[in-house]
Amino acid sequence: MMNMRTKQIAPGVEMPVLSIGTGGIERMYANEIITNWLELGGRGIDTALNYKNQENVRDSIVAFISKPNTTTTRKDLFVTTKVPNCENVGRTVKKDLQELDMEYIDLVLIHNPRSGGNCTQAWTELESFFASNEARTIGVSNFDKKDLEPILRIAKVKPHVNQIRLNVLQNNPDTIDYSTQHGIMIQSYSPLGRNNTSSRGVDIPGNPTIQRIASIHNVTTYQIAIKWIVQHGWITTFQSSSKEHQAVDANVFSFTLTSNEVKELDGL
């Protein structure tokens, strides 16, 4: 079983440092991906209404926790989903709950601030689901500093998480710093530079510095990429359809980067 660690993102709420993603090309393999992840000991699962696979997520979870001799229950899992944008948040969260067939969702995010709707109004609607315990925590995704500022001006409950594109070769220091200053946990997606980011100059396995550091620790370049995120105190959701690759990529708690190695990676 994998060594799975958590971070507190709200009082009494621990979120797995590593979650498995089901978006992108992986969405059609959601059942296999989630089953593999749960069998390995993973407990964080990331989906979204736009992924059109929430029923698959539900079925995979139900099948796993219903197995004879299993001790895992729904309360042991941490499920993240997202509403598409800032429009009709109340209706879309209810659709998330319906498709997942859950009484509550561990984390609900607004997926994109720039694809429609009034985000301050949307945040107020999302706070109502937090108040009713239908969302244990709430947050945002793809929100830059300028997107967060109006939310924080009116928020009764500040976002618990900001899920952003973040990897060792591609990050936004202003957004990271602003979120951190306001106690918002940073969650990385695309930590391995996949999902067609190679066309934007993101080639983690081909980077000489990452290769050298991976060689020193006798691990893969993808393990170094995830470890860099974890060692900064952030959390991440990554994608892998192979059980073997999931196990290797998630094996990041058996080694530690030196302070000089972290500085080198920061400078890439």
The DSSP code sequence of 191-256 is TTS-TTGGGGT--STT-HHHHHHHHHHT--HHHHHHHHHHHTT-EEEE----HHHHHHHT--SS--
8: Cβ contacts below 8 Å, ≥ 6 apart: 14, 15
Query: What is d(CA 184, CA 168) in angstroms, rounded to the nearest whole number?
Result: 20
Residue type, 36: N
Question: pLDDT by residue for the chain (268 residues), tens digit each?
Answer: 777 899 999 999 999 999 999 997 667 789 999 999 999 999 999 999 999 999 999 999 999 999 999 999 999 999 999 999 999 999 999 999 999 999 999 999 999 999 889 999 999 999 999 999 999 999 999 999 999 999 999 999 999 999 999 999 999 999 999 999 999 999 999 999 865 544 456 899 999 999 999 999 999 999 999 999 999 999 999 999 899 999 999 999 999 999 999 999 999 9
Half-sphere exposure of 116 (CA within 13 A, CB side): 6
Predicted confidence at residue 199, as pLDDT, reads 42
DSSP H/E element including 126: helix 119-131
**If we measure between CA atoms, which residue out of 244, 197, 253, 242 comes closest to residue 3?**
253
Predicted confidence at residue 195, as pLDDT, reads 52
User: pTM for the complete prediction?
Assistant: 0.96
